[in-house]
């Protein structure tokens, strides 16, 4: 199975009202902004969507709302991972494949499994679905790193099609790209490293920044994938400062502030996450003034 998820995918935020309920009108505006902005696929219920704080019923409501607004225009990748393999497998069997084109599944967090345990975890998951699966390595959140040799072993499984790499370890990333099978891709999980990663063979990105700035971010990725690194670098540096601002106080507070600036949704989050400080908000607004 070849990887169908290339170029720019947006890890969609989940807009909330002040009372903590889901802002479905804002969510649909966000989907429209990203489709119109040139995004190639949508990722629902990743960490950027504050998935740990949503109930299973709410997650399904969000997925249905995104699918309705998308209306078949872009592939939808559904985030489904966890540190209880049996529970993830159970939920995976229940996924409606008429709504979802693929699965993004993070390496088990907190438990800190050894590499053999990570392989066994994913092997159980692939037996539960025919959908293509994107692995997700983000050691800063999970507490453990998926080594290059482990990724390459998992890449031999037909419906594991890509790795979202957010380790920041370029040597590890290049080792995967150098030795991977045809049909398996590496996607950047770090907005600031997207152009460097594409320059050494990555196939795209699952992005936070593209929520609020899809037009510029998608253009940057397109230039890089076409080998026009001068144009890509210009956009990379145009977005570099605001990318740092978006993550300065954790994700997704920064990008939600930018979405509030664009009139898509208000910057409300569910505890334990809180909105950005007033000083950071002012910096984000000033940066958005130059970009939009």
The boundaries of the domain holding residue 220 are 7-226
Q: Structure tokens of 143?
A: 């507490």
Q: Looking at the domain assignment, is residue 249 inside a domain?
A: no
List pLDDT tens digits, range 64-83: 999 999 999 999 999 999 99
- Active-site choice (78, 122, 136, 261): 136
- Active-site choice (7, 164, 256, 281): 164
> What is the average pLDDT across 48-53?
97
- pTM score, two decimals? 0.97
DSSP string, 142-196: HSS---HHHHHHHTTSTTEEEEEE-S--HHHHHHHHHHPPTT-EEEES-GGGHHH
Q: Looking at the domain assignment, is residue 239 inside a domain?
A: no
Per the annotation, the verdict on 164 as an active-site residue is yes
Per the annotation, the verdict on 216 as an active-site residue is no
Q: What is the pLDDT at residue 253?
A: 98
CATH number at residue 40: 3.20.20.70
Q: Looking at the domain assignment, is residue 125 inside a domain?
A: yes
Task: Name residue, tokens 């899809």.
Answer: 214
List pLDDT tens digits, range 156-206: 999 999 999 999 999 999 999 999 999 999 999 999 999 999 999 999 999
How far apart, in whole angstroms, are the C-alpha atoms of residue 5 and residue 42? 10
> What is the average pLDDT across 221-243?
98
How far apart, in whole angstroms, are the C-alpha atoms of residue 259 and residue 241? 17
Q: Looking at the domain assignment, is residue 281 inside a domain?
A: no
Q: Looking at the domain assignment, is residue 247 inside a domain?
A: no
Residue 72 neighbours by CB under 8 Å, 6+ apart: none
Q: Structural domain tally of the chain?
A: 1
């Amino acid at each position: 199975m070849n990887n169908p998820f290339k170029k720019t995918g947006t890890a969609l935020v989940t807009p909330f009202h002040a009372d903590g309920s889901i802002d479905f009108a804002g969510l649909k505006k966000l989907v429209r902004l990203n489709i119109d902005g040139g995004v190639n696929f949508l990722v629902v219920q990743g960490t950027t969507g504050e998935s740990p704080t949503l109930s299973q019923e709410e997650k399904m409501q969000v997925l249905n709302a995104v699918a309705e607004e998308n209306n078949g225009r872009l592939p939808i990748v559904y985030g489904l991972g966890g540190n209880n393999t049996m529970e993830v497998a159970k939920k995976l069997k229940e996924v409606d494949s008429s709504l979802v084109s693929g699965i993004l599944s993070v390496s088990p967090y907190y438990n800190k499994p050894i590499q053999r345990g990570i392989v066994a975890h994913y092997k159980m998951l692939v037996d539960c679905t025919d959908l293509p699966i994107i692995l997700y390595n983000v050691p800063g959140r999970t507490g453990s790193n998926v080594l290059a040799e482990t990724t390459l072993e998992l890449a031999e499984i037909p419906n594991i099609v890509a790795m979202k790499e957010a380790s920041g370890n370029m040597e590890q990333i290049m080792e995967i790209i150098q030795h991977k099978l045809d049909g398996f891709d590496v996607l950047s999980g770090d907005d600031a490293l997207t152009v460097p990663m594409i320059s050494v063979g990555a196939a795209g990105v699952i992005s936070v920044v593209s929520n609020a700035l899809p037009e510029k971010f998608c253009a940057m990725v397109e230039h890089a994938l076409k080998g026009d690194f001068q144009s890509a670098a210009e956009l990379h540096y145009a977005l570099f400062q605001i990318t740092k601002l978006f993550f300065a106080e954790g994700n997704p507070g920064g990008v939600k502030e930018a979405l509030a600036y664009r009139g898509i949704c208000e910057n409300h989050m569910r505890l334990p996450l809180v909105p950005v400080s007033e000083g950071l908000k002012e910096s984000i607004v000033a940066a958005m003034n130059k970009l939009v």
